């Protein structure tokens, strides 16, 4: 099993969480607790997969991030490109950065410059723009395609049918590596609904691979539902509150 843990940096001009020394020690305790729960969930998983823990560090301080880093965390997730750019410049080079928020077209160039993975690629138009700008920069960008499995109006993402219809166009792109799917379950979903959403995402991934795509990653599950996601095959879970505690935005 591969579990990666990471830390965050506080930038004075950014909203951040203020941590006491007690809060810092709690981060290490939270990581240990999450690791134990991950191991238990993997034992109950349908796939027995390797798993990557992405510490969602938005709005948290450099001190909090470095505490997680000292505990072994190496993967961190940001939802805003500018915040990621500013934090990355002052953090250890061994951190793997995941852009997990909604990405606007005018931020793609910067996202490519600072992200190892871009989650939440929610349209063919956005994927093609990433491909174009990645080509111009001479890189191959790892991307996860966001799927709106639950059909929520408030959520963006491909429908299952849209993604199936786009397979040939996606395979034709040269400078992106569409390496998996990403989804989010409704906040109100109960355990039965969670299992259905996460298993449906896995089944869609399997059917797309039969069409010629290579999609090893399933980014699904957050603080409230990551155990359910792991049991249904998640290879990446995005955990913020359960690891760092609630973020208090200050300026």
What count of other Cβ atoms lies within 10 Å of the Cβ of residue 220? Answer: 31
Instruction: Supply 82's token pair.
Output: 């500018």
Question: Using CA atoms, how far apart are residues 112 and 176, in angstroms rounded to an integer?
Answer: 10
Q: Nearest 10 degrees: CA dihedral of 80, 85, 91, 96?
A: 70
What are the CA-CA distances from residue 24 to residues 30, 44, 86, 248 (Å)?
Answer: 10, 31, 22, 15
Mean pLDDT by 10 residues, the chain (251 residues): 33 37 76 96 94 95 90 96 93 97 96 97 98 98 95 87 97 98 95 97 98 97 97 98 82 42
Say which residue the tokens 């990581």 belong to.
31
pLDDT at 249: 64
Burial of 24 (0-12, 13-18, 19+ CB in 10 A): middle
Kindly state the helix (H) or strand (E) to which residue 157 belongs, with its residue range: none
Please check whether the domain covering 21-244 is classified as CATH 3.20.20.10. yes
Question: Using CA atoms, how far apart are residues 98 and 160, in angstroms rounded to an integer?
Answer: 24
User: End-to-end CA distance of the chain, in Å?
Assistant: 39
Give the contacts of 93 (CB within 8 A, at least 6 positions apart): none
Question: Using CA atoms, how far apart are residues 38 and 48, in angstroms rounded to an integer?
Answer: 11
DSSP annotation of 63 reads H
pLDDT at 62: 81
pLDDT at 248: 66
pLDDT at 153: 79
pLDDT at 20: 45
What are the CA-CA distances from residue 140 to residues 26, 115, 132, 237 (Å)?
Answer: 37, 11, 10, 23
Query: What is the pTM for the complete model shown?
Result: 0.88
pLDDT at 51: 97
What count of other Cβ atoms lies within 10 Å of the Cβ of residue 215? Answer: 16
Question: Using CA atoms, how far apart are residues 142 and 120, in angstroms rounded to an integer?
Answer: 11
**What residues does each domain of the chain span?**
21-244
Question: Using CA atoms, how far apart are residues 100 and 240, in angstroms rounded to an integer?
Answer: 12
pLDDT at 146: 98
């Amino acid at each position: 099993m591969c579990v990666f843990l990471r830390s965050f940096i506080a930038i004075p001009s950014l909203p951040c969480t203020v941590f006491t020394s007690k809060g810092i020690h709690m981060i290490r305790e939270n990581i240990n607790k999450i690791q134990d729960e991950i191991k238990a969930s993997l034992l109950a998983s349908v796939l027995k997969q390797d798993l990557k823990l992405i510490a969602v560090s938005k709005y948290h301080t450099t001190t909090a991030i470095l505490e997680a880093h000292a505990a072994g965390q190496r993967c961190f997730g940001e939802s805003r490109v500018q915040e990621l750019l500013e934090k990355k410049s002052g953090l250890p080079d061994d951190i793997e950065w995941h852009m997990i928020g909604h990405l606007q077209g005018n931020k793609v160039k910067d996202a490519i410059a600072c992200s190892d993975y871009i989650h939440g690629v929610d349209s063919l138009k956005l994927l093609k723009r990433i491909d174009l700008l990645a080509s111009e920069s001479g890189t191959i960008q790892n991307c996860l395609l966001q799927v709106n499995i639950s059909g929520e109006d408030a959520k963006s993402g491909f429908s299952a049918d849209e993604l199936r219809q786009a397979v040939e166009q996606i395979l034709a792109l040269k400078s992106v590596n569409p390496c998996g799917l990403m989804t989010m379950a409704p906040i109100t979903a109960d355990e039965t609904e969670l299992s259905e959403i996460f298993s449906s995402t896995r089944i869609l991934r399997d059917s797309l691979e039969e069409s010629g795509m290579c999609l090893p990653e399933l980014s699904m599950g957050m603080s409230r539902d990551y155990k359910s996601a792991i049991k249904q095959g998640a290879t990446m879970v995005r955990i913020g509150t359960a690891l760092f505690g609630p973020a208090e935005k200050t300026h």
